[in-house]
């Protein structure tokens, strides 16, 4: 055998080993799901396919947690994981699911809205596969996904994505972006079908208010803010005032642009009777100018390059060496959700929703997210 042949064999063997190592990770990503504990307030765990059968048995189907209060009142839906790389929304929903006590009204929660997106990382971004939250009894792990539906489940992308039904042209890859696919399409792509199922759920359950939880990079202008459909603006205004007055949380409020289509705060407000709102916190791992991309950055939000960008005046949020830790981001979301619910209840007293046992901003920062995560039974 010549040296050349031996070299070729070594390269082929090395490639096979790399494929096995990577393939194993991809398989784990596709098949493993983090444990979520059914909290004392959860009445039923339904499926999104209960509202649109077409997605039954597909990766688009996802759990819907239903928490019925003791007294009748309004219904609120909390969505997270529309973008599976924005973790504070998922953790906020899990905190509600595992802790909340519903005294009046109903709370519906979809923690992993784009379930397919949780099975992939974004190519070339060096995203960690999962992250771990430490608790007093041990630790809990959660998947860290991609912003878009996994191309294994929906492919190929068109050159230009034409949003249904507005006809607006968007980037081709945004056809896999759940928050560009609302109100959804019955016979559309997987992502459009998931959006359609959520819209159907809102109609069938007569959801009075929908809150969609997100995160954004510090160089993006829509951050640390509430975006409201025009019918929901008064709810956002009261919530913003109370968050600032009673908890010292500085949060913006923005009106959903009428001509920006596919987003929850626009389409759910236009195509259903729900009051549609979206909240954003600051997640530095999403920022293109970040440095080392690992679990530490995801959870602490500390990054020297973003710090430098802040000193150059390039950021839309205050940012110092303390970073943007996950406890602070989740605390912002729990307080924002609770305050939106309070504002809604004050404005529409016949639809009042009362929730107890969910920690607010200062409590989450003081005790940490892990303090509020329950211990699952069995293997983790």
Binding footprint of Zn ion on the chain (CB under 5 A) = 83, 86, 214
> Least CB distance from residue 287 to Zn ion, whole Å?
13
CB closer to Zn ion, 214 vs 360: 214
- The closest alpha carbon to 59, from 143, 159, 160, 157, belongs to 143
> Least CB distance from residue 349 to Zn ion, whole Å?
32
Cis status of the peptide bond prior to 183, with omega within 30 of 0? yes
Report the C-alpha gap between 155 and 175 in whole angstroms: 10
> Least CB distance from residue 204 to Zn ion, whole Å?
25
Considering only CA atoms, give the Rg of the chain.
21
The b/e string for 318-350 (b: 16+ C-beta within 10 A; e otherwise) is ebeeebbbbbbbbbbbbbbbbbbbbbbbeebee
CB closer to Zn ion, 42 vs 170: 170
Which are the contacts of 115, defined by CB distance < 8 A and separation ≥ 6? 59, 60, 61, 62, 81, 194
CB closer to Zn ion, 69 vs 301: 301
CB closer to Zn ion, 114 vs 274: 114
> Least CB distance from residue 42 to Zn ion, whole Å?
25
CB closer to Zn ion, 147 vs 302: 147
Q: What is the β-pairing status of strands 130-134 and 101-110? A: unpaired
Could you tell me the sign of the dihedral formed by the alpha carbons of 88, 48, 73, 67, in that order?
negative
> Least CB distance from residue 83 to Zn ion, whole Å?
4
> Least CB distance from residue 263 to Zn ion, whole Å?
9
CB closer to Zn ion, 147 vs 153: 147
Q: Three-state SS for 344? A: helix
């Amino acid at each position: 055998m010549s040296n050349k042949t031996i070299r070729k064999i070594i390269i082929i063997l090395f490639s096979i080993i790399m494929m096995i190592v990577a393939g194993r990770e991809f398989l784990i990503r596709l098949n493993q799901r983090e444990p979520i504990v059914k909290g004392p307030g959860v009445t039923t765990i339904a499926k999104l396919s209960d509202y649109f059968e077409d997605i039954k048995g597909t990766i688009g189907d996802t759990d819907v947690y239903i928490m019925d209060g003791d007294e009748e009142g309004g219904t609120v839906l909390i969505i997270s994981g529309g973008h599976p790389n924005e973790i504070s929304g998922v953790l906020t929903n899990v905190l509600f699911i595992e802790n909340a006590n519903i005294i009046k009204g109903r709370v519906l929660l979809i923690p992993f809205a784009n379930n397919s997106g949780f099975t992939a990382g974004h190519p070339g971004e060096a995203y960690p596969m999962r992250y771990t939250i430490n608790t007093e009894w041990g630790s809990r792990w959660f998947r860290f996904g991609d912003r878009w539906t996994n191309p294994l489940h929906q492919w190929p992308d068109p050159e230009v994505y034409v949003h249904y039904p507005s006809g607006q042209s968007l980037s081709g890859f945004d056809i896999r972006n759940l928050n560009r696919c609302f109100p959804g399409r019955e016979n559309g792509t997987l992502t459009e079908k998931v959006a359609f199922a959520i819209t159907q759920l809102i109609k069938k359950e007569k959801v009075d208010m929908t809150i969609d939880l997100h995160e954004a990079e510090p160089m993006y202008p829509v951050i640390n803010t509430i975006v409201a459909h025009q019918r929901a603006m008064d709810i956002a205004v009261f919530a913003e005032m109370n968050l600032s007055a009673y908890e010292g949380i500085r949060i913006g409020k923005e009106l959903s642009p009428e001509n920006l289509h596919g987003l929850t705060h626009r389409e759910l407000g236009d195509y259903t009777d729900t009051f549609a709102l979206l909240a954003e916190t600051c997640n530095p791992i999403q920022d293109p100018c970040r440095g080392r991309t690992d679990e530490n950055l995801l959870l602490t939000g500390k990054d020297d390059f973003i710090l430098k960008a802040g000193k150059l005046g390039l950021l839309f949020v205050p940012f110092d060496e303390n970073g943007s830790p996950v406890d602070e981001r989740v605390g912002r979301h729990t307080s924002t959700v609770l305050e939106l619910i309070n504002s809604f209840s004050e404005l529409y007293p016949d639809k009042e929703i009362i929730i107890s046992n969910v920690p607010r901003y200062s409590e989450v920062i003081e005790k940490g997210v892990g303090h509020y995560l329950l211990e699952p039974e069995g293997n983790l």
